[in-house]
Structure 1
Amino acid sequence: MLAAYRSCLSPQHSKYLLISNLLGRLPNGMAPLAIALFLRSQGLGFGTVGAVTALYGLSMAVGGPLLGRAVDRFGQVRVLPVSAGISAVGFLALVGAGDGSVAAASAAAVLAGLFSPPLEPCLRTLWPSVLKDPRDISAAYALDASLQEVVFVAGPLLVVGLTSVADPSVALVVTTVAMLVGTLAYIVPEPVRHWRAEPRTPDWAGPLRSVRLRQLLVSLAFVGAGLGALNIATVAYQEHVGSDGLSGILLGVNAAGALIGGLYYGAREWRADTSQRLTVLLLGMFLCNLPLVLVPHPIVVGVLVFCSGLFLAPALTCGFAIIGEVAPQGTVTEAFAWMVTAVLAGNALGSSTAGTAEQQVGIWASFLVLVVAGAVAFATAALFRRGRSGFGGPTALSGKQAAS
């Protein structure tokens, strides 16, 4: 396992690109919980908290493909710093709207999300120009999917640590600083400054003209819905058991499981094709989340969310491989951005639904939203495979192939 990852990190710039990109992506793990805790500290109900958090996620979902298309057209250096600067204004405006104004908070969350820099798709698009060996590129995709879980381990824990010693608004400020510093550091190396997308065939749909890509996005949207429900359910569970900081710990445990599962998955060669692996992984996530509806003891909840996380990063790695196969030429960044968008759109739906379910029915209902989302994600992937419209072969290294 170490040999595979050591090889992909040995070329010049690869370590720096990965570290700086992860720093800039830290807000992805911090912002949802930071926004939720900040708004709760202002006395807003779970329905409102879930709605504003959903607005942030939906705005990222809308802005990601638009910024990805801009990157494919103008390059990463011209797009990333501008988007990061505008997103920072949104986060700081959210802090300023902490007087209980729901409209102002919602508008600020939309601005912060809409212009969130698309660092994830940019790095995944860049790997083939930094790494020449196809095996190294494949390992880099797996490592990227695994280490992004560090964001979801460190992010919530950092938010919990900050809110335990300072006002919740401090967590939003730190989120902003991390995004700006990471983005500006990432665009310094030569590969980023010189990267250009391949020529593309003009088409308003871009990568979405690929049927197989659209099929994948449906399933991943429900994976995102489960993650969004988990964000809200853990905050509600924290209050239910009266244990401050438990929400961040549970989210961190889930992400730690994903980190371990992803690293193990990426170090092995698998005989089953990608669509079959994706279906099995989604089934595993669903089965691990199912007992949460019973609202068990915190230790049991921790074990369950950890086991669920073991399947998360491998499932996302399958998504990277599939996108690499089916993205039309010249649309790779936008295609990867659409994957992020699918997850975020589902995340926003899950957050909003779980918040409303908790407020109207009870905490068990917020966990039920998580379970139902997982069931639909698995069923959708299984249905596509049974219908012989599977997602693709076992691996993919670039986005040069034409759409099917």
Structure 2
Amino acid sequence: MRAYLDFLRVTYAARLLGGTLLGRLPNGMAMFAIVLHIRAEGGGYALAGTLGAVFGLAMAAGQPILGRTMDRYGQPRVLLPAAWLSAAGFGLIALNGGGPLPVTVGAVILAGFATPPLEAGLRALWNRVLPGPAQIKTAYALDAAAQEILFTVGPLFVVAAAVVNTEVALLLTGALGVAGTLVITTSPPSRTWKGEPRAADWAGPLRSSGLRVLLLGLACAGIALGVYAVAATAYAERAHDDLAHGILLAAMSGGALAGGLVYGARSWPGDDHQRFPWLMAALAVGYLPLVWAPGLPVMSVLAFVSGLFLAPMLACSFTLVDELAPAGTVTEAFAWVVAAVGVGGAVGSAAAGLGQELAGVPGAFAAAAIGGLLALATCLAGTRLLTPPVDSWRVPPNPPP
């Protein structure tokens, strides 16, 4: 019987992680697909970039709202309608073509706001599927490492679909979101999951001061991540090498994947709230040499190193979210993580552009270093608040299926 239950847990875990990665591919595709489509329809870079930012901000706004709704009504009732609405938004962008701009803006907002909170939903399920904190922490590390693949593979899907036309790229983006959501919502853990009873408080998880500090730190780390894509583009233009942008992004993602796999492969000494500032410090230090912006061979190594502590930092933050979030708010709390990183990324994109104008490529990468240092300063200032309450690992309110 024990062997059978272990087999079920492994099967459920693989299905949930695989389905979530499939459904989150649009996160790595959407902005690129929107920008390509607007450019193909004759829109300028300013309009294309603005619409991409609108999508990101709409998604950041929608995740906590959908997460709170999931805590109250379960996963399938929220995830499936959201996935179909988001796909409808992408379809409307494709069908509208170069039509009225307000229609395009509305479709972009719909596609972003209704993006199903699969990340938050998955992390809320690990407590049910896996037997204990050690296995959950490993799952968080694998989750954080695997999601780096999305931002490498996603744009490749867009490029392949855009060979036909950019409308196909948009429709594929929406369809993948629906497909991944169906994999998740038809699984027993998702269908039977119920949120814990929660206090009647409008602030939800934000009433936790430790969680607020954590979210602010992650938003600052998001600034560094948002800087990276813009700064890598500026680097490629300066080097007159179209491949440099992709190489730097792949190198950073490869570093994050390697770091996540190493971090998840073993247990580490100390508590998570004590380890988190050290991981954030290592991440911040990794961004500093990028300001040098040397030739591509050396820069690729620096990009790899800059990603090494990203997945471990995120995995540690996921554990802290689970420990700091008040009962009944765990899905919304994880959705706030997505929102915080997303808002930070939008700020980082703007900061990179300003830095590039003021000081060229080194100025663009300097914005990433500043974001990393701000994240570290936030964590150090709020170290005491990051300490979770005793016995914070909660027993799931309903037994594993």
TM-score (norm 2): 0.88
Partner of 2:191: 193
Contact map agreement 2:9 2:130 (CA 8 A) in 1: no
Matched, 1:353 2:342: no
Cα shift at 1:356? 4.7
Matched, 1:247 2:273: no
The 3-state SS of whatever aligns with 2:232 is helix
User: Which stretch of structure 1 is more off in the superposition, 293-302 or 332-341?
Assistant: 293-302
Distance in 2 separating the partners of 1:64 and 1:333: 10
User: Which stretch of structure 1 is more off in the superposition, 311-320 or 11-20?
Assistant: 11-20
Partner of 1:309: 307
Contact map agreement 1:261 1:310 (CA 8 A) in 2: yes
Contact map agreement 1:62 1:114 (CA 8 A) in 2: yes
User: Which stretch of structure 1 is more off in the superposition, 298-307 or 57-66?
Assistant: 298-307
Distance in 1 separating the partners of 2:297 and 2:167: 30
Contact map agreement 1:156 1:252 (CA 8 A) in 2: no
Distance in 2 separating the partners of 1:211 and 1:27: 32
Partner of 2:120: 121
User: Which stretch of structure 1 is more off in the superposition, 166-175 or 220-229?
Assistant: 166-175
Distance in 2 separating the partners of 1:59 and 1:395: 36
Contact map agreement 2:57 2:342 (CA 8 A) in 1: yes
Could you report, residue by residue, the CA deviation over 1:222-252 in whole angstroms, capped at 9, with x for unpaired residues? 1111111212222333333333354344323
Q: What letter is aligned with 2:338? A: V
Partner of 1:389: 385
Q: What letter is aligned with 2:189? A: P
The 3-state SS of whatever aligns with 2:116 is coil
Partner of 2:3: none
Contact map agreement 1:208 1:214 (CA 8 A) in 2: yes
Cα shift at 1:38? 4.1
Q: What letter is aligned with 1:195? A: W
Decide whether aligned partners of structure 1 residues 207 and 237 sit closer, same or farther in structure 2, where only a CA change above 3 A counts. same
User: Which stretch of structure 1 is more off in the superposition, 42-51 or 282-291?
Assistant: 42-51
1:373-384 matches, cutoff 5 A:
373-384=371-382
**1:221 maps to which of 208, 219, 224:** 219
1:157-236 matches, cutoff 5 A:
157-163=156-162, 165-236=163-234
Decide whether aligned partners of structure 1 residues 368 and 167 sit closer, same or farther in structure 2, where only a CA change above 3 A counts. farther
Partner of 1:318: 316
Contact map agreement 1:56 1:113 (CA 8 A) in 2: yes
**1:259 maps to which of 257, 266, 276:** 257
Partner of 2:269: 271
Decide whether aligned partners of structure 1 residues 391 and 122 sit closer, same or farther in structure 2, where only a CA change above 3 A counts. same
The count of residues paired between Structure 1 and Structure 2 equals: 392
Structure 1: 5+ residue runs without aligned partners?
1-6
Distance in 1 separating the partners of 2:363 and 2:166: 27
Distance in 2 separating the partners of 1:259 and 1:225: 20
Contact map agreement 1:270 1:394 (CA 8 A) in 2: no
Distance in 2 separating the partners of 1:360 and 1:105: 33
Q: What letter is aligned with 1:173? A: L
The 3-state SS of whatever aligns with 1:25 is helix
The 3-state SS of whatever aligns with 1:197 is coil
Cα shift at 1:157? 3.5
Could you report, residue by residue, the CA deviation over 1:294-343 in whole angstroms, capped at 9, with x for unpaired residues? 43322333222211111101001111111111111111111111111111
Distance in 1 separating the partners of 2:170 and 2:136: 34
Decide whether aligned partners of structure 1 residues 400 and 69 sit closer, same or farther in structure 2, where only a CA change above 3 A counts. same
Contact map agreement 2:67 2:331 (CA 8 A) in 1: yes
Contact map agreement 1:153 1:256 (CA 8 A) in 2: no
Q: What letter is aligned with 1:322? A: L
The 3-state SS of whatever aligns with 2:385 is coil
Distance in 1 separating the partners of 2:257 and 2:230: 21
Cα shift at 1:134? 3.6
Decide whether aligned partners of structure 1 residues 377 and 124 sit closer, same or farther in structure 2, where only a CA change above 3 A counts. same
Decide whether aligned partners of structure 1 residues 88 and 103 sit closer, same or farther in structure 2, where only a CA change above 3 A counts. same
Partner of 1:107: 106
Distance in 1 separating the partners of 2:179 and 2:152: 19
Distance in 2 separating the partners of 1:293 and 1:101: 42
Decide whether aligned partners of structure 1 residues 242 and 98 sit closer, same or farther in structure 2, where only a CA change above 3 A counts. farther
Partner of 1:3: none
Decide whether aligned partners of structure 1 residues 292 and 309 sit closer, same or farther in structure 2, where only a CA change above 3 A counts. same
Matched, 1:343 2:341: yes
Q: What letter is aligned with 1:253? A: A
Matched, 1:88 2:87: yes
Q: What letter is aligned with 2:196? A: E
Cα shift at 1:397? 4.5
Distance in 1 separating the partners of 2:144 and 2:26: 16
Contact map agreement 1:326 1:399 (CA 8 A) in 2: no
Structure 2: 5+ residue runs without aligned partners?
1-5
Partner of 1:280: 278
Distance in 1 separating the partners of 2:51 and 2:160: 23
Matched, 1:32 2:64: no
Q: What letter is aligned with 1:140? A: A
Cα shift at 1:359? 5.7
Decide whether aligned partners of structure 1 residues 93 and 390 sit closer, same or farther in structure 2, where only a CA change above 3 A counts. same
The 3-state SS of whatever aligns with 1:269 is coil
CA RMSD of aligned residues (A): 2.8
Contact map agreement 2:161 2:169 (CA 8 A) in 1: yes
The 3-state SS of whatever aligns with 2:173 is helix
Q: What letter is aligned with 1:130? A: V
Q: What letter is aligned with 1:346? A: G
